[in-house]
Amino acid sequence: MRIKWFSLVRITGLLLVLLYHFFQKFFPGGFIGVDIFFTFSGFLITALLIDEFARHQKIDLKGFLKRRFYRIVPPLVFMVLLVMPFTFLVRRDFIAGIGTQIAAVFGFVTNFYEMLSGGSYESQFIPHLFIHTWSLALEVHYYVLWALLAWFLAKKAKTVGQYRGLIFLSSVGLFLVSFMTFFIGALLTKNLSNVYFSSMAHIFPFFVGSALATVTGITTVSPNFTKLAKSWTSKKALSVLGGAFAVLLLLTFILPFDSIWTYLFGFLVATLAAASMIVATRVLHEKTPDQKEPAVISFIADTSYGVYLFHWPFYIIFSQLMTNGWASLLTTIVSFSLAALSFYIIEPTLAGRQPKIFGLQMDLRSITRPIFYSAIPLTLLMFGIILFAPRVGAFDENLITEGLRQSDNKMQITRSQVDNASATSYNVTDGETMIGDSVNLRASDYLKKVLPDIQVDALVSRNLESGLKVYETDISNHVLLKNVIIALGTNSSDNYKELLDQFVEKLPKGHRLIFVTPYDGREAGDDSSVTVQTRNYELELAKKYDYVFVADWYQAALENPAIWAGTDNVHFGLETDGSIDIGGELYANVVKKAVEEAKKGAIKP
């Protein structure tokens, strides 16, 4: 039995995800589209299990897992095999470590892989081509856990009502455990991506859907839902549907991924709004017995899983070759085409059914055979790419090399300071000490060209808080040079004012302090973003203290958009087109100019 209008829930989830990935700056909260999918999946799977128990008084666990396998695995394999030839169109950085990524995909542990590799869901200079399969990993974890529990409860229940009650209580209990893990984890962690990727924490929307299925259901519904459906008019159901959609759309505009409030309340609100859409569409099904769901809506819903699978890797590849608008359009066309091929032809053929297109059975053996035979060379190509792919990309290699080089340089300079300190009445050695993050690390070679004696201490993912600890250690060891440059803030900290004040307060006498303003192109121009607010406060400090100066990288970055083409809008330039040199030289000269101005100014008395 197909419930009309459920397609609207699936389409909403897909729409928000596509808007988020294609136009993240305008739809920063579109990642909640995945939670809509989670809620709907929890509802649908549980409703089908209850219907099965109502018919047979038992659950066929093997049959359930078999159906899930044929729905999930063929499109996934199809996606990976088709993406691999397209990787030849982009630089080799995108296939660095691709074998491990693919193993995580097929093992349904992409979420754990991303957590262990320390990846941020939003900020990756070279985005993983298959990072989006983290949500599929969570779905599979839920399916296995829930199927086992539903099978076990079916053995205990004697009636449908009792089974429904056991499912409801289990859903509520597991929801509370999962959501509290999500809630508390967000309060305790410094990397919210780990909470986002966590199976234990982020599985709670599924259980909201599961609990809802015990009431509304598909074929087997509760008496309460029957009363609800009779009491609601079509107009009221449409109002609830529209209101829930409006809430989700609003969240898409206002929810930032890295805000603690998003995790404490945002995801839960999105999940409840998705549940409201499910109820409203279920009632609409009852209210429109003679109305058919438009074919285009059914098509988009049927292919939504495939579109989700295909869109991300193709968008990443196409966006390296053309403008974002064209990349988004081409990705949409390719994704829907391949998803339709998978859903209407490949999947039913593998499951032993004759393909149907819009309800019409068709003999497509002349098409399916070449498709399946093509899997052989594509599989060989995949293994070939895995075998010859670099272990790390050029960007990561550059960061590792620079990290080792700066450590050696720091040791040499520190030793020189110990031997030769006493340059001024404050016993401060002339020169520049720079404490920075991965952007600073990327610019190390260019900085040394314009400031040959600069001492750089930069580290990937360093923020103001961790940078302050390095600063305090250098102070206690008396190794700070006269001009101290702080190039932090790209990895934002909500308590930036307190941390920046401490940098100023703890600066030893006889030194100058230079802040390099942070830049994140995804938030540029947004005065409410922490990155922009950090920059504005650094400018205020420079006006307040005559020994504090600013190297305004933010402004220079805004005025030079060419260095951001094809990047994550945080780490400037590409090796392939030479824009890395332009960006590196620009960054170094911005810092050099600030140092020259600082040398003419006061020191901390």
Closest among 180, 176, 205, 193 to 34, alpha carbons compared: 205
Q: Is 388 left (phi over 0), alpha (psi -120 to 50) or beta?
A: alpha
- Alpha-carbon distance 376 to 77, whole Å? 12
Average pLDDT over residues 348-369: 73
Task: Return the CA Rg of the chain.
Answer: 28
* pLDDT of 324 strictly over 80: yes
* pLDDT for res 323: 87
* pLDDT for res 120: 61
CB atoms within 10 A of CB 517: 26
Q: Which amino acid is at 281?
A: T
Q: What is residue 265's DSSP assignment?
A: I
* pLDDT for res 72: 94
**Strands 360-361 and 356-357, sheet pairing:** antiparallel
Paired tokens of 410: 């720091």
Q: What would the pLDDT profile of 226-246 be if each residue is shown by its tens digit? A: 999 999 999 999 999 999 999
Q: What would the pLDDT profile of 439-472 be if each residue is shown by its tens digit? A: 988 888 899 999 998 988 888 778 899 899 999 9
* pLDDT for res 422: 40
Over pLDDT 70: what percentage of the chain? Answer: 90
Q: What would the pLDDT profile of 70-122 be if each residue is shown by its tens digit? A: 999 999 999 999 999 999 998 787 888 899 999 999 999 999 998 887 656 65
Closest among 66, 17, 35, 43 to 310, alpha carbons compared: 17
512's enclosing H/E stretch is strand 512-516
DSSP letters of 470-486? HHHHHHHTT---SEEEE
Average pLDDT over residues 197-219: 95
Band the pLDDT of 217: cuts 50, 70, 90.
confident
Average pLDDT value over all residues in the chain: 89
Average pLDDT over residues 9-22: 96
Instruction: Please give the domain boundaries of the chain with CATH numbers for all domains.
Output: 6-383 (no CATH), 394-599 (3.40.50.1110)
Average pLDDT over residues 422-438: 76
- Judged by DSSP in three states, 361 sits in strand
Helical residues (DSSP H) of 391-437, grouped into ranges: 394-420
- Alpha-carbon distance 304 to 317, whole Å? 20
Band the pLDDT of 424: cuts 50, 70, 90.
very low
Band the pLDDT of 363: cuts 50, 70, 90.
low
Q: What would the pLDDT profile of 334-356 be if each residue is shown by its tens digit? A: 999 999 999 988 888 887 777 77
